Structure formats: structure tokens, C-alpha cells
Amino acid sequence: MTKGYLGIDIGSISTKGVIIDAQNNILASTYLWTKGNPIQAVKEVLKDLQKQTKNQDIKIVSVGTTGSARKLIGTILKATIIKNEITAHAVGTLSRYPDVRTIIEIGGQDSKIILIRDGIVTDYAMNTLCAAGTGAFLSSQAKRLDVEVEDFGKIALTSKNPALIAARCTVFAESDLVHKAQIGYKKEDIIAGLCRSVALNYLNNVGKGKKILDPIIFQGGVSKNIGVVKAFEDILKTNVTTDEDGHLMGALGVAILAKKEKEINFSFDIMEGQFETSSINCGSCPNNCEIICVKEGNKLIDAWGNRCDRGKSNIKIEQKE
């Protein structure tokens, strides 16, 4: 029997799961869309991982969760560790590229930069109020141009003369793109221009003022777009590495972190039950905190969101109902 460690990364757009062994080798991995329902997505991830490992004698002894739904899923799975995505990504990437000094990550709705020096994270930045230049932006523009977003990169590479597209804001970029199309730019030039504007936007927003040093690893869904990779290489005038498992780094990282925790008994059936979330408004004071309750059948397993203790009594009332 080998000991396995499960890491799940529940992002806004996609959900990723890996099982690793004690040497950090990936034994099974899965990647699917969250579709706005993290609980269902994780159920499917578990089902898929179980299927993949059916013939191997693996016992899961620790579970970690990361990503924006880490707390919700961590609670349901009784995870041994719940970690933010930045630490998880850094740990995952460092396990493969111990020399990395810059991680560029562009996901569905957020983008971040992680700076690493001598194997430890020294600084990071995340997009603040604006999601311009992330995966969601690219896929909406692909729809507008009637191109599959998966083909974006390939098409971009055929362009000899990328169009200049205003990069600072999705709204401006969008109107600029329409304008460029109307005055007769070729589609591939516009697409190459878009890829370039994603890279520029990233470097001017998230990467501003940060020292981007070699080796650079590019991750997240957008890293699958070869056009953006090339745009980064052109602008930074250096190599940008992508990993075929780049999308799994968060899940891998949190699985590695889970190894350090104490072992538990984990069964793939844990999500068999009916899990439900509901929200109630506390109402005890003008803040009117929204409290999220997670229930398994009729049993309340956890609740959060209240700023003070007054919310607890309301949760009890909710539980009785």
C-alpha cells in the first residue's frame, strides 16, 4: 500500500485535483469546470480520482484545499490543511523548479505575480479591483471574434504585424478591438494584439514596480495560450517556461503541504451525502452580516461570515428550522 496525499484547488472557473505520493509524484490528476457549483465540481473530481486510482493500492492519508472555495470544500472534506492559493502555488512550483524566481499566474478572474528568492516567497501582488486581461476577458473576446479560445495562441503566432490594442482596461480594449476590426485589420493581427495587450496589461498592473527575474514560470489557464507566452517573451526579452501541469500547481502545492499534517482516515465517499449551503442575514445589528451555513442533510457542520459572536444564536435558530 502506498500513502497518497490529496490536493484540491477550487477556482472560480475550474476545479483541479491531484493525488501525490510521498515523493511528490502525481499519481492521478483531474481538471474540470467549476460551473459556479464548487460542491458538485468537487464531487466529480473525487469520483474521477477514485476511478483513476482504482487499480493502485493507495490510501489517502491527508487532504488539502486551496482556491477561492477552499474554506467551503475544506470544511466538507474535513481537510487537514486549508491554504491560500499564493502559498500553494509557490510550494507546488518550487517542488518542480527549485530555482524559480518569478511566477506569473493568470487565471480565469485573477492574476498574480509571486516573487521568489532563494526558494522562499518574498513578495507577491494580485490584481485589485479589476479583472482586465484575465482568462474571462480573453474568452469573451474570442466569442466576439467567433474563434475558439483554445485556438487563440495558434492564430496569434501567424500574425506578422500585431495590432496595437489599448491594454489598460477591458472596456477600452473591447472598443479598441471593435474599432480595429472595422477599419480592416486582419483577424490574426487583432488576436496577436490581444495577446500582447494581456501581457502588457499584466506587467503594468500586477507586475508594476516588481523586479521580474529569470527563471520565469508562467501558469494558470492563460499560460496554455502560446500567443500570450510569446508576447511575454518578446516584452521581457527572456525565456518564459510553461509546464504542462501548470494548471495543477495549486493542487500539487496544497497536497505537498498536507503531507506535513497529521494523518487522517479519508474515504472517497465523504461527499456522498447531501451537502447544502444557505445564507442567513444576522440582523442583530445594522451590519446585518450574511452568515453562510454549510449543512450535511439536516446537520449544520459549519458557519461563517459573522463579524461578531451575536450571529451564533441566529445560526442555532436556523438549525432548528
Partner 1 sequence: MNHKIVGIPRALLYYYDKDLWIEFIKKLGHTPKISSFSNKKHLEEGQKLANDESCLSLKLFLGHINELKDECDMILVPRLFSIKKKEQVCTNFNCLYDLVNNLFDINIINYNIDLTEKESKLMAFLKLGEILGASYIKSYKAYKYAEKISLMKRKKLEQEQAEKLSTSKIKILLAGHPYNLYDELIGKPVCKFLSENEITILYSDRIDHTKIDEECKKLSTDIHWTHSKEVMASINYYQDKVDGIILLSSFPCGPDSLSNELISHKIKECPLITLIFEDLNSEVGVITRLESFIDILKTKKEKIYGKNN
Nearer CB in complex with partner 1: 126/178 = 126
Shortest Cβ 284–partner 1 spacing (Å): 11
Of residues 301-320, which lie at the interface with partner 1 (CB under 8 A)?
A: 307
Print the binding letters for residues 253-292 with partner 1: x by CB under 8 A, - otherwise: --------------------------------xxxx----
Confirm or reject binding of residue 205 to partner 1 (CB under 8 A).
no
- What residues contact residue 307 under an 8 Å CB cut-off, 6+ apart? 287, 289
Confirm or reject binding of residue 219 to partner 1 (CB under 8 A).
no
Q: Is 24 exposed, middle or buried (0-12, 13-18, 19+ CB in 10 A)?
A: middle
Smallest CA-to-CA distance from 177 within 135, 220, 146, 151 is with 146
Shortest Cβ 107–partner 1 spacing (Å): 13
Shortest Cβ 51–partner 1 spacing (Å): 32
Shortest Cβ 307–partner 1 spacing (Å): 8
Nearer CB in complex with partner 1: 84/319 = 84
Amino acid identity, residue 3? K
The grid coordinates listed for 124 are 507577491
Applying CB under 8 A, the site for partner 1 has a residue count of: 24
Question: Could you give the C-alpha distances from 271 to 169, 254, 302, in angstroms and in order?
Answer: 41, 20, 15
Nearer CB in complex with partner 1: 2/87 = 87
The DSSP H or E segment spanning 194 is: helix 187-205
Confirm or reject binding of residue 68 to partner 1 (CB under 8 A).
yes
Of residues 99-128, which lie at the interface with partner 1 (CB under 8 A)?
A: 118, 120-126, 128
Give the distance between the most distant pair of CA atoms in the chain.
Answer: 67
Nearer CB in complex with partner 1: 120/183 = 120
Burial 109-124 (b: 16+ CB within 10 A, else e): ebbbbbbbeeeebeeb
Amino acid identity, residue 141? Q
Shortest Cβ 269–partner 1 spacing (Å): 29
Shortest Cβ 256–partner 1 spacing (Å): 14
Which residue has cell 456522498?
Answer: 272
Task: Check: CB of residue 13 under 8 Å from CB of residue 107.
Answer: yes
Residue among 182, 209, 298, 321 that touches partner 1 (CB under 8 A): 209
Shortest Cβ 33–partner 1 spacing (Å): 21
- What residues contact residue 254 under an 8 Å CB cut-off, 6+ apart? 7, 8, 9, 64, 65, 66, 81, 83, 88, 91, 92
Shortest Cβ 191–partner 1 spacing (Å): 31
By CB under 8 A, name the binding residues for partner 1: 68, 83-87, 118, 120-126, 128-129, 208-209, 211, 285-288, 307
